[in-house]
Amino acid sequence: MKPALIRIWNEIDVDEVKKHLLMAGELSANCENCQQLGIDFAKEQACSECHTRFRYISFRKKDNKAEELSAIRRLKHKRPDLTIVDYEDIKHACGKSKAQSLFDD
Ligand SMILES: [Zn+2]
């Protein structure tokens, strides 16, 4: 049987993820830590600008579900070293931590 793509939920430090996150676009990616653009997400291990080591990768949602799944399959095949994280989850968690720090002040 062909392996299925299953999302696994994890409790994770969002600041730590953002420090090591590659944000993939159609052709290239940017470093979420320093916003460096034009990174080849198929092969770069670390950011040439801030030297952060990439451990996570994310991309903006595609409208087409089948397209999204095939993009994930390609990514997993090319970058077994990276953990794919859901962009909406990161956005949501960041919004939450921002709101949290407002309460802390
Ligand atoms: Zn960087």
* Domain segments of the chain as ranges: 14-104
For residue 66, give both structure tokens: 């089948």
> Does residue 82 have a pLDDT over 90?
yes
Residue reference for tokens 């600008």: 49
Q: Residue 23 is inside which H or E element, if any?
A: strand 21-24
Is the pLDDT at 45 greater than 90? The verdict is yes
* Predicted local distance difference test score (pLDDT) of residue 21: 97
Question: Would the pLDDT of 2 be above 60?
Answer: yes
CA of 19 to the centre of ligand 1 (A): 8
CA of 15 to the centre of ligand 1 (A): 14
Kindly give the distance from the C-alpha atom of residue 46 to the centroid of ligand 1, in angstroms, as a whole number. 8
CA of 40 to the centre of ligand 1 (A): 13
pLDDT at 23 over 60: yes
Average pLDDT over residues 47-66: 92
How many angstroms is it from 13 CA to the middle of ligand 1?
19
* CA pair distance 92, 14, nearest whole angstrom: 10
Task: Tell me the residue type at 88.
Answer: E
- Residue 83 alpha carbon to ligand 1 centre in Å: 17
